[in-house]
Amino acid sequence: MWNKNVKLFSAIITIFCLVLCLNVFPVNAESNQNMVATPAPQLPAPPSGFNPITATDQQLQEYGFPSRPSDSAGLAQWTDVMSYAKYYGKPVQTPSTCTLGLSGTEYSKLWAGYVDKGSDNNTTYTQTYADWVQPAFSGSAAPAFWTGTGGDYGSNSIVQAGAISNATFIGGPVSYIFVVEDFPLDLEWESYPAISPGDELYVQVTYGGTVSTAFLLDFRTYQYTSVPFWTPYYDGSSADYIYEAISQHYSSWGYTTFSACDYVGSNGAGNLSNSQYTEDIMTDNGKSNGNVEAYPLGVSNSGFIVISQ
C-alpha cells in the first residue's frame, strides 16, 4: 500500500497539472447538444513500457499525466505516486446509466461528505484531488465515492470522477469500476480496470476550458487511465469530496477515509483544512429533520472519515 505523508502530498497541489493543450475551439451554450454525440478527442495510449518518471514534460502532457513539479518536496511525492502508474487501460464510453448527482442543500438524500463553496472562499475551482480506500458492498445498491468541481447548491454543471459499485446496472455480481461523468452533457466513461474492495484509489479532476481531464490510479494494481471530456458549460462553483447513494442508501457499510482532499482555484492551491467548507449530511428525506443515513466526521489534515448508519 502506498506509504504516503498527507502533509507532503498536499505540496503537489501547487502545480497546475493535467492541463491539456488540445486544438479544440471554444463552443457556446447553443452548441452543447451537438457535443452529446461527439466525445472529446481521446488521448493516445502510452507506448509499452512507458515510464512517467523518466518521460519528458511534453510526453507527460501528451498522455494525460500530472505534470512534474519543480520543487523538491512536490517532486518527491509526484515520483512516489507516478511509480505506481505502470499499466495503462483505455477508457470506454458507455451510455449514461446514472447521474452521480447534485445536492441542493446541506442536507441531502444523495450526498455525504464535504464541499468547498466558491461563495464562501471567493474562488472558482479548477482542480480537485482525493484518494480513498474502496469499501465492499453487496446487493443491488450502487454507492459511489468521487471528487469533482461544480454543482454548488443549485448549479446544473459538474465535472466529476470516482469509483462506483455497479451491481444495480449490470444485474449480476457486485463489481467496482472507475467512472467519469460530465453533467449535464451526461456522457459517462467507465474505465479499465476493475477495482477490488480494499484498493487505495487516487482521482484527480482538472478543468481545462472546453476540455477537462480525469486521471485515475489504483495503487494496488499499478493500473491507471486518463479521460478527457467536453466541459463547455463548467461553472467551477465548488470543490467536492463525496460519498453518494446513487439509487438508494446502502445501510451500514461502515466507513471509508478520504485523504489529501485538495484543490486548485482562482486564488491558488488549498485543501479542506485551510478553507471554509460545508458539511453534507445524508438523510432519508433530504432535510435536517430526517433520519441520518451517512455523515462525515471532522476534517483533519485535509481529510475526513465518512460513516454509514
**H-type alpha helices, the chain:** 6-10, 32-36, 57-62, 72-82, 118-121, 167-170
Q: Which neighbouring-strand residues pair with 146? A: 162, 242
Provide long-range contacts, Cβ within 8 A and 24+ apart, for 199-202.
Answer: 199/133, 199/134, 200/1, 200/2, 200/131, 200/132, 200/133, 200/134, 201/131, 201/132, 201/133, 201/134, 201/145, 201/163, 202/81, 202/129, 202/130, 202/131
Residue 38 confidence (pLDDT): 60
CA contacts within 13 A on the Cβ side of 270: 23
| Residue bearing the bigger pLDDT, 65 or 150 | 65
Phi, psi of 120 (to 5 degrees): -85, -35
- Answer whether 301's CB lies under 8 Å from 7's CB: yes
Read off the pLDDT of residues 284-293 as tens digits, 9 standing for 90 and up.
888 999 999 9
Residue 301 backbone class (left: φ over 0; alpha: ψ -120 to 50; beta: rest) = left
Measure the CA–CA gap between 62 and 280, rounded to whole angstroms: 37
**Per-residue pLDDT band at 160 (split at 50, 70, 90):** confident
**pLDDT digits 0-9 by tens, 219-231:** 999 999 888 887 8
For 171-191, write each residue's pLDDT tens digit: 456 678 888 877 776 666 777
Choice between 239 and 138, residue whose per-residue pLDDT is larger? 239
Model confidence band, residue 208 (pLDDT cutoffs 50, 70, 90):
confident
The domain limits of the chain are 6-308
For residue 31, pLDDT over 70 is answered with no
Handedness of CA 100, 218, 136, 129 (dihedral sign): negative
Greater model confidence, 72 or 15:
72
pLDDT tens string 41-90: 888 999 999 999 999 999 998 998 887 888 887 788 789 989 999 999 88
Q: Look at the alpha carbons of 102, 104, 110, 116 in this order and tell me if their dihedral is positive or negative.
A: positive
Could you tell me the pLDDT band of residue 143, with boundaries at 50, 70 and 90?
Answer: confident
160 vs 8: CA distance, rounded Å: 25
Q: For residue 168, is pLDDT > 60?
A: no
Report the pLDDT averaged over residues 96-124: 70
- Predicted TM-score of the model (pTM): 0.76
Residue pLDDT, tens place only, 290-303? 999 999 998 998 89
Determine contact, residues 150/119, Cβ cutoff 8 Å. no
Torsions phi, psi for 143 (to 5 deg): -75, 155
Give me the chain's average pLDDT, please. 76
The model's confidence at residue 29, banded by pLDDT at 50, 70 and 90, is very low
Predicted local distance difference test score (pLDDT) of residue 156: 67
Cα–Cα distance, 299 to 259 (Å, whole number): 10
pLDDT of the residue at 39: 67
What per-residue confidence (pLDDT) applies to 202?
93
pLDDT value at residue 77: 79
On whether the CB atoms of residues 130 and 258 are closer than 8 A, the answer is yes
Report which of residues 143 and 281 the model is more confident about.
281
β-strands 238-245, 143-150 pairing:
antiparallel
- Nearest alpha carbon to residue 148 among 96, 216, 200: 216
Band of pLDDT at residue 269, cut at 50, 70 and 90: confident
pLDDT at residue number 248: 65
Instruction: Give CB contacts under 8 A, 24+ apart, made by 26-30.
Output: 26/209, 26/210, 26/232, 27/210, 27/232, 28/232, 29/232, 29/233
Whether CATH 3.40.50.300 fits 6-308: no
